[in-house]
Chain A
Amino acid sequence: RKEVEQDPGPFNVPEGATVAFNCTYSNSASQSFFWYRQDCRKEPKLLMSVYSSGNEDGRFTAQLNRASQYISLLIRDSKLSDSATYLCASKKTGRRALTFGSGTRLQVQP
Chain B
Amino acid sequence: SAVISQKPSRDICQRGTSLTIQCQVDSQVTMMFWYRQQPGQSLTLIATANQGSEATYESGFVIDKFPISRPNLTFSTLTVSNMSPEDSSIYLCSVERVKQQETQYFGPGTRLLVL
A-B contacts at CB below 8 angstroms, number: 46
Asked if B61 CB lies within 8 Å of chain A CBs, one says: no
| Contact residues of B: prevailing secondary structure | strand
Cβ–Cβ contact B108 & A43, under 8 A: yes
* Chain A residues engaging chain B, CB cutoff 8 angstroms: 32, 34, 41-46, 49, 87, 91, 96-103
Closest residue of chain A to B43, judged by CB?
Answer: A100
Interface residues on B, range: 20 to 34
Asked if B75 CB lies within 8 Å of chain A CBs, one says: no
Cβ–Cβ contact A96 & B31, under 8 A: yes
Q: B1-28: which have CB < 8 Å to A?
A: 1
CB < 8 Å: which of B33, B96, B101, B106 contacts A45?
B106
CB < 8 Å: which of A42, A43, A46, A103 contacts B103?
A46
Cβ–Cβ contact A34 & B103, under 8 A: yes
Known contacts A97-B48, A100-B42, A102-B41, then 4 further A-B pairs from the complex at CB < 8 Å, ordered by chain A residue: A43-B109, A46-B105, A102-B42, A103-B42
Residues of B within 8 A of A44 (CB): 43, 92, 106
Q: B41-97: which have CB < 8 Å to A?
A: 41-45, 48, 58, 92, 94, 96
Closest residue of chain B to A34, judged by CB?
Answer: B103
Residues of B within 8 A of A49 (CB): 102-103
Q: List 15 A-B contacts (CB under 8 A).
A: A34-B104, A42-B109, A43-B108, A44-B106, A46-B104, A46-B105, A96-B96, A98-B33, A98-B45, A98-B104, A100-B42, A101-B42, A102-B41, A102-B42, A103-B42
